[in-house]
Structure 1
Amino acid sequence: MAPALDEIDQRIVRELTTDGRLSVRVLAERVNISRANAYSRLARLVETGVLTRFTARVDPAKVGLSTSAYVTLNVRQNSWRHLTEHLRRIPEVEHMALVGGEFDVMLLVRATDNEHLRHVVLDRLQDIPGVLGTHTTLIFEDIDNH
């Protein structure tokens, strides 16, 4: 069950989603609470799993990953746990999700170029035990919502 978030908690989450590097002092100023209150709220949001980590967003193309694709997988039933172990070891897989519908798993894959992407899909993903088939959709442009 998700913890109840009041308006201040929601504002803290929005501010940190926009800039995860905010100091507690600046965060407290932006949401109009004391620093002590901001520290205790942040600790509670982390403790309850609302905030799971603080990360940097990177422009994939600027770090040499100019080819991106969504790769969907059809897999053998009951292979999800085993499959995730394999997928976590593939650095090009940026995100994975178990989904319902036509496919079983959806991946966001980042590669240096089409040849690299081809290697990831045909040699790495399709070789995982339990993967029955893949479908690759190239991303022409990433649009960041935040």
Structure 2
Amino acid sequence: MVKFAGPIFQTEPVSLCRWLIGTVKLGHMSSELSAKRTPVVPLDDTDRRIVAELRSDARMSMRALAEKLHISRGSAYTRVERLQRDGVITGYSATVDPERYGFGVAAYVHLKVSQHSWKAVRQRIMEIPEVWHGALVSGEHDLVLLVRAKDASSLRDLVLNRFQTMPDVVSSHTVLILDELPQQPLPVPT
């Protein structure tokens, strides 16, 4: 899996989109998926430090992690395994520049969809590799999608020929991304 400094980015976009929309980012809002999720496990300071270290260097060895946190290798291994099993750590990734990777244009596409059509639209969106992140939102629009395309022409085709022609999509609004902020570390929940 590959990500860039910002939202998540992967070499296999359809798989990533399924992961984001189907389980992690949007799935938690779906009642059928919420019922299947395990309850949130409380994390202590050591767990949070493990997550922070692995977010900054996912290739760190257990030995280096244990030494950095002043815990035993066995404890580090057990904690990382538990964090993975409990769904806190969902994967490991490398950071890349999306433009150098071949995606020169990025935009947020806001979609309004017909009432009660979310699941059908979600399935169709998951088949579009240019969709890197999606969220079901409240407000004027129903969905906000982060899309990446090779160039402006590819973005235009995506919006006009894929989104606006999709059944149950009532309207779309596209906002071109001019620059992106680097990804910030996760804040510590209070």
TM-score scaled by structure 1? 0.94
Q: Which has the higher contact order (CA 8 A, sep 6+)?
A: 2
Distance (Å, rounded) in 2 between the aligned partners of 1:58 and 1:82: 32
SS in 2 for 1:62: coil
SS in 1 for 2:100: helix
Distance (Å, rounded) in 2 between the aligned partners of 1:73 and 1:20: 35
Match in the other structure for 2:5:
none
Please say if 1:3 is aligned against 2:41: yes
SS in 2 for 1:63: coil
Match in the other structure for 1:118:
156
Distance (Å, rounded) in 2 between the aligned partners of 1:133 and 1:122: 11
Please say if 1:75 is aligned against 2:75: no
Measured after TM superposition, the shift of residue 58 of structure 1 is 2.1
Gaps of 5+ in 2: 1-38, 185-190
Please say if 1:90 is aligned against 2:123: no
Match in the other structure for 1:63:
101
Distance (Å, rounded) in 2 between the aligned partners of 1:79 and 1:3: 33
Q: Assess, with a 3 A threshold, how the Cα gap between structure 1 residues 57 and 128 changes in structure 2: closer, same or farther.
A: farther
Match in the other structure for 2:26:
none
Please say if 1:104 is aligned against 2:142: yes
- Equivalent in 72, 75, 90 of residue 37 of structure 1: 75
Distance (Å, rounded) in 2 between the aligned partners of 1:116 and 1:38: 46
Size of the alignment, in residue pairs? 146
**In the alignment, residue 166 of structure 2 is paired with which amino acid?**
I
SS in 2 for 1:61: coil
Deviates more, 1:64-73 or 1:20-29: 20-29
Q: CA RMSD in A?
A: 1.1
Please say if 1:52 is aligned against 2:90: yes
Q: Deviations over 1:17-69 (max 9, x none)?
A: 22222221222122221111111101111111111111222211001101000
Measured after TM superposition, the shift of residue 80 of structure 1 is 1.6
Measured after TM superposition, the shift of residue 16 of structure 1 is 1.4
Measured after TM superposition, the shift of residue 109 of structure 1 is 0.3
Measured after TM superposition, the shift of residue 72 of structure 1 is 0.7
TM-score scaled by structure 2? 0.73
Distance (Å, rounded) in 1 between the aligned partners of 2:134 and 2:43: 27
Distance (Å, rounded) in 2 between the aligned partners of 1:79 and 1:30: 49
**In the alignment, residue 160 of structure 2 is paired with which amino acid?**
L
Distance (Å, rounded) in 1 between the aligned partners of 2:146 and 2:104: 13
**In the alignment, residue 66 of structure 1 is paired with which amino acid?**
G
